[in-house]
């Protein structure tokens, strides 16, 4: 597949995956090989990947309680568009209809969030034959890079390589960010204390074609500046 076509085609599959259709070991190996060749700052290769495909371990991760935070609901609301026309004009963010009604209300009560009345994040391992958990070692960073911004960029390169490799094989991907601050998943997977969960991703074949939604991007002239930022 042409690389630009693949980049445009890439999408997040929020639908359940077919548990009766496992990912072939050869395909999984190719996806991990793509991760291996991700560009990282100073070639520090600051990541490790845990492949979770044991149904018992997946079930244990799925059972973790992960309530939505007040910060997420408030900041998510600020980025929503409430019509396709508004989203097409804005060119960034998401449609409000992609989220539960309780998350689309600017007048939510913080105590309802604290008491779990606003719901929980989608289960990361639900109907997914494989979960990749990418962990990050902050000690492995480029020289003179306090704050390790380049290391974070490197993790994004790992994510993109994994995603595009899977997409090229017809394997669905959903990035799961809500496990990053989850202490329970570190205990389940025996992750050392000095490593950080950067992100996880579900891999599999959707059981049905997922619902379509409007995808928008800024036009190239909207964000490209020539020779200097402003005239």
Tens digit of pLDDT for each residue in 165-183?
999 999 999 998 888 878 8
3-class state of residue 74 by DSSP = helix
Alpha carbon of 175 to those of 26, 106, 146: distances in Å?
A: 22, 26, 27
pLDDT above 90 (res 67): no
Residue 100 has pLDDT above 90, yes or no: no
Lowest mean pLDDT among 35-49, 81-95, 113-127: 113-127
Q: Closest Cα to residue 131, out of 19, 46, 50?
A: 50
Confidence of residue 210 (pLDDT cuts 50, 70, 90): confident
* pLDDT attached to residue 44: 95
The whole-angstrom separation of Cα 141 and Cα 127 is 36
Predicted confidence (pLDDT) at residue 117 exceeds the cutoff of 60? no
Instruction: DSSP for 131-179, please give it.
Output: EEEEEE-TTS--TT-TT-HHHHHHHHHHHHHHHHHHHHTT-EEEEE-TT
Please say whether the beta carbons of 170 and 205 come within 8 A: yes
**Stretch 107-122: mean pLDDT, rounded?**
59
Share above pLDDT 70 across residues of the chain, in percent, rounded to a whole number: 91
Secondary-structure percent of the chain, ordered helix, strand, coil, rounded to 5: 40, 15, 45
* Cα 118 from Cα 112, distance rounded (Å): 6
DSSP one-letter code for 227: S
- Sorted by sequence, the CB contacts under 8 Å of residue 135 that are 6+ apart come out as 47, 48, 49, 50, 191, 195, 196, 197, 198
Domain ranges of the chain: 16-64+123-204, 70-119
pLDDT for 63 beyond 80: yes
Q: In this model, does residue 128 exceed pLDDT 70?
A: yes
For residue range 48-58, list pLDDT tens digits in order.
999 999 999 99
pLDDT of residue 72: 85
Among 106, 100, 92, 155, which residue's Cα sits nearest to residue 122?
A: 100
Give the whole-number percent of the chain exceeding pLDDT 90: 65
pLDDT value, residue 218: 96
* 192, 121 Cβ separation under 8 angstroms: no
pLDDT of residue 118: 56
CATH dotted code for 16-64+123-204: 3.40.109.10
pLDDT at 115 (0 to 100): 52
Task: Look at residue 111 in the predicted model and tell me its pLDDT.
Answer: 62
Per-residue pLDDT averaged across 59-63, rounded?
88
Residue 212: what pLDDT? 81
Give pLDDT, residue 73.
85
- Select the more confidently predicted residue: 37 or 180: 37
Q: Is the pTM of this model over 0.85?
A: yes
C-alpha 101/C-alpha 30 separation (Å) is 40
């Amino acid at each position: 597949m042409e690389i630009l076509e693949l980049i445009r085609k890439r999408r997040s599959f929020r639908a359940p995956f077919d548990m009766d259709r496992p990912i072939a070991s050869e395909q999984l190996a190719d996806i991990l090989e793509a991760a291996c060749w991700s560009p990282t700052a100073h070639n520090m290769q600051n990541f490790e990947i845990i492949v979770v495909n044991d149904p018992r371990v997946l079930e244990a991760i799925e059972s973790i309680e992960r309530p939505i935070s007040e910060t997420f609901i408030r900041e998510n609301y600020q980025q929503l568009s409430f019509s396709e026309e508004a989203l097409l004009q804005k060119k960034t963010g998401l449609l409000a209809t992609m989220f539960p009604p309780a998350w689309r209300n600017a007048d939510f009560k913080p105590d309802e969030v604290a008491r779990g009345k606003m719901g929980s994040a989608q289960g990361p391992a639900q109907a997914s034959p494989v979960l990749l958990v990418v962990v990050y070692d902050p000690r492995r960073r480029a020289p003179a890079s306090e704050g390790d911004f380049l290391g974070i960029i490197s993790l994004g390169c790992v994510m993109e390589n994994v995603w595009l490799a899977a997409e090229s094989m017809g394997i669905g991907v959903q990035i799961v960010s809500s496990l990053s601050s989850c202490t329970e998943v570190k205990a389940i997977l025996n992750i050392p204390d000095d490593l950080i969960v950067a992100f996880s991703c579900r891999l599999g074949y959707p059981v049905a074609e997922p619902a379509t939604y409007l995808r928008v991007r800024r036009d190239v002239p909207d964000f490209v500046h020539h020779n200097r930022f402003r005239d």
